[in-house]
Amino acid sequence: PVRGRAVGDSDCIFCKIINREIPSDIVYEDDDVLVFPDINPVAPVHLLIITRKHIPSLSVMDEEDTPLIGKMAKIANRLAREKGLDSGYRVTINSGPDGGQLVPHLHMHLLGGRKLRWEN
């Protein structure tokens, strides 16, 4: 079920996914977040946990939005258990171009299903 439209940028690909303008395999959604598989996965499990509200990045997040990060982490933990990632997983938030953020919309990556290592 569609819970609501994105609050934000009409040109943002993630807002378009939230608004069902671009199809995606929605794994989880509630009034604050939406979860779907990354289109370019780097691990057997690679989910994106995005805020329904358009927040360009972690670095510009308002203080009132701080609880969203905790909620996103809680959802990541729940999905990791559901996906059988008992031996471990990684949760990351990239912020800004030099931090590896490709889409300017706050999102968290849940990675697992293989032994992960740091690339650099």
Q: Summarize pLDDT for 25-49 with one digit per residue, the tens.
A: 999 999 999 999 999 999 999 999 9
Residue 55 near residue 61, CB atoms below 8 Å? yes
DSSP 9-72: -TT-HHHHHHTTSS-----EE-SSEEEEE-SS-SSSEEEEEEESB----GGG--GGGHHHHHHH
- Is the predicted pLDDT of residue 4 greater than 70, yes or no? no
Question: Could you give the CA distance from residue 89 to residue 29 in angstroms, rounded to a whole number?
Answer: 21
pTM here is 0.90
Catalytic pick from 54, 105, 107, 109? 107
> How high is the mean pLDDT of the chain?
91
Question: Could you give the CA distance from residue 52 to residue 49 in angstroms, rounded to a whole number?
Answer: 10
pLDDT band at 7; cut points 50, 70, 90: low
Question: Could you give the CA distance from residue 11 to residue 116 in angstroms, rounded to a whole number?
Answer: 33
Active-site annotation holds for 109: no
Per-residue pLDDT at 89: 97
